[in-house]
Chain A
Amino acid sequence: MSGPRGSPGTTGGRVSNESGIEIGTVYAADELAASGGTGMVGRPGEYPFTRGIHANMYRQQPWTMRQYTGFADARRTNERFKYLIANGQTGLNVAFDLPTQIGVDSDDLLAAGEVGRVGTAVDTLRDFEIAFADIDLDRITVSLTINGAAAILIAMYLVMAEKRGFDIGRLRGTAQNDILKEFIGRGTWIFPVEPSVKLVVDTIEYCARNAPKYTPVSVCGYHIRESGATPVQEMAWAFCIARAYADGALARGLDIDEFAGRLSFNFNIYGSLFEQVAKFRAGRGLWARIMKEQYGATDPHSMWMRMIAGGGGSGLVAEQPELNIVRGAYYALIGALSGAQTMALCCYDEAYTIPSEYAQRIALRTMQILVEEMGLCDTVDPLAGSWYVETLTNQMRQKMEDIIAATDARGGIARLVAEGAIQAEVSAQAYARQKQLESGEFRKVGVNCYRIEEPAREPEFHPYDEEAARAQVAALAQVRSERDAAAVDAALQRVAADAKSGANVMPGIMDAVRAYASVGEITGRLIEAYGRYREPIRF
């Protein structure tokens, strides 16, 4: 891999960054001119949006603070949501347990020991009704971290909001719903690659026509980076994935400007500060150009690379764990200097456990300090015009374009993912990085330098709540006994029929959810039509 190179065992400057770009001792006008000049810089809020998608950015409104939360059952999750909102959080970011994420019910054999463990358990609409009780969905936007089962949970969210009297034509919110990256990293796939992409396109089409303010997809470079990708690969492959979904939506007869404005992105943020800032600035310009020049978008919203950032699990380590608070503060600084729309800042205990209230509050306060004390909202894109940052931005954008062209030439991202080629590539890079960490070539404070002898200290672990898991199974049984069985059967039959015929399955799923059909029941019907994914193992 093209890793950061420096002299092992020294603390001096590095000769190249993680993206494989050589770093000079000093930058001036000549270097910037050689990298392509200032033609892509522009002004904030104007094409090509390198400096930010809004003219006033944080002067008008700071980024949305949206910490990742959810555990046990709907009632406990609702309590934590209210705690975070009371502490000044402005959006919710929902974590689901693994059975929900892979589309099995809490009473399924596969769910044993996993119900409510890494997020909240959701079986039916009833769970959403409880989890979001008393929360003003017009004021607090909700992001659902769901992929394999996203079509079902998006439907559940829309139906829940509708039942509470919100107009889904105006409802805002986001679902992660980026299945292609799940095959590369994170692993909550269910169906084979092709029908999985088809399902994502179904949600884009359905939302464009029925819930046009809802963001049905947040394309994640984040997990690709966690799996071993370099910063430029992270962003280039995220764009390839976003194009794959956009191509599917265009094939349904939608106009690019009918849906592209509701695509968003989720990026990683750990790594060197200037490389990260340049990555985001480069990506914004490149995405705008792709949308305008390749897709013929005319609405500026379609050209905006809207993003959530602030996490970087791979950057955090177990040694001297309080240093993760410091790392988190720098990540938030990077996010603010990069013009992120939303931040979900990683918590210092996140590598071990579901973050405690205390760790969540520290992360939230870290961002609030940047807003209230550090002047990060005073002016837009403050690093612009730095010869180094502008040169690096040009160089990173060129690298991303090269990776996109190479990916297209190899058959496109969906095919490379189905073959396991991207997975093999990033895992080889992760291995190379591990060797660099062990040799000391890639330096990590507390890990391979500045170590101290200390007894292993761990944050308090979030205990597994067996009682909540049992209650969840009982609640599901109760819903099953109370619902109209004939309505559930009819709705599930429609889901099965639509899945087999290739129709958009969203209207059928909306009806099934409304009838309190469970996540596992709906997923089961889809599996009958689509089959299951089989993981290609390549080394």
Chain B
Amino acid sequence: MTATDDNRAAPPPHRGRTAPIRVLIAKPGLDGHDQGAKVVVRGLMDAGFEVIYSGLRQTPEAVARIAQDEDVDVIGLSSLAGSHLPFCRRLRDLLHEYRLDDRLWLVGGNIPAADCAPLRELGIAGIFPTGSRLADIARFIREHVT
């Protein structure tokens, strides 16, 4: 399931690290729109990150489990069908339970402006609505993963 490209010599994306930053891109809930998630996966791979893509229809439990098993630095959710708030509320509790509160948590997709404040309260550090630039996502991760 790990989407890495062995042919690419990936420079360490962060000064202080020797290992590449590991990113989970997950599709929460029943939403089937995965074009954007896959574009982000490819963009982050090209930017030198190690990326794990979950595939469709992940429960909060599954996302927390993959995040722990793969020991990722970043958890990114791509939500296009509107159910991100209840999903993230449940995931927040699980991340706490799994002691993954320190991981960088991002959400992208169709995110109404009104949802941004409640998402940030839940611990989401970066919100990237549809139309965000890949370079901005990569830069945000580099600046926030230590």
Instruction: Name A residues whose Cβ lies closer than 8 Å to a Cβ of B.
Output: 98-99, 101-102, 110-114, 117-118, 182, 185-188, 226-228, 317-319, 351-353, 427-428, 430-431, 434-435, 438, 447, 456, 458, 461, 464, 535, 537, 539
Contact = CB atoms under 8 A, between A and B. Distances in A.
A432 to B, nearest CB: 9
A182 B55 CA distance: 14
Given A102-B57, A458-B112, 15 more contacts: A98-B29, A98-B32, A98-B81, A101-B30, A113-B29, A113-B87, A187-B34, A187-B57, A226-B35, A427-B38, A430-B39, A431-B42, A438-B135, A539-B45, A539-B53
Contact of B133 (A187, A438, A456): A438
Nearest to B2: A537
Contact of A113 (B3, B43, B56, B86): B86
A118 B31 CA distance: 10
Interface of B: 1, 3, 5, 29-35, 38-39, 41-43, 45, 53, 55-57, 59, 81-83, 86-87, 110, 112-114, 129-131, 133-135
Contact of B32 (A113, A188, A447): A188
A353 B32 CA distance: 15
A118 B82 contact: yes
In the A-B complex, the 6 residue pairs with the closest CB atoms: A187-B32, A98-B30, A113-B86, A431-B42, A427-B38, A535-B55
A505 to B, nearest CB: 24
Contacts of A539: 3, 5, 38, 41-42, 45, 53
Given A438-B133, A539-B53, A99 B112 contact: no
A434 B30 contact: no
A270 to B, nearest CB: 14
Nearest to B32: A187
B114 to A, nearest CB: 7
30 contacts: A98-B29, A98-B31, A102-B57, A110-B59, A114-B81, A117-B83, A187-B31, A187-B32, A187-B33, A188-B32, A228-B35, A317-B131, A318-B130, A319-B131, A427-B35, A428-B42, A430-B38, A430-B39, A431-B38, A431-B42, A434-B39, A434-B43, A438-B133, A438-B135, A447-B131, A458-B113, A537-B1, A539-B38, A539-B41, A539-B42
A517 to B, nearest CB: 22
Contacts of B83: 113-114, 117
B112 A102 contact: no
Contact of B30 (A99, A427, A428): A99
Nearest to B129: A318
Given A430-B39, A535-B56, A539-B3, A318 B32 contact: no
A122 B60 CA distance: 25
A132 B129 CA distance: 36
A188 B110 CA distance: 19
A117 B130 contact: no
B112 A461 contact: yes
A431 B131 contact: no
Residue from B33, B38, B86, B113 having most chain A Cβ neighbours under 10 A: B38
A185 B113 contact: no
A384 to B, nearest CB: 35
B53 A110 contact: no
A102 B57 CA distance: 10
Nearest to A466: B86
B134 A438 contact: yes
Nearest to A448: B133
Nearest to B30: A98
Nearest to B89: A113
Contacts of A226: 35
B33 A117 contact: no
B111 to A, nearest CB: 10
Given A110-B30, A114-B29, A352-B110, A434 B87 contact: no
A117 B112 CA distance: 15
Given A113-B87, A117-B82, A447-B131, A461 B38 contact: no
Nearest to A104: B30
A456 B113 contact: yes
Contacts of B34: 185, 187
B56 A187 contact: yes
Residue from B1, B130, B135 having most chain A Cβ neighbours under 10 A: B130
Given A114-B83, A352-B110, A464-B82, A186 B38 contact: no
Given A117-B81, A188-B32, A431 B39 contact: yes
Nearest to B45: A539
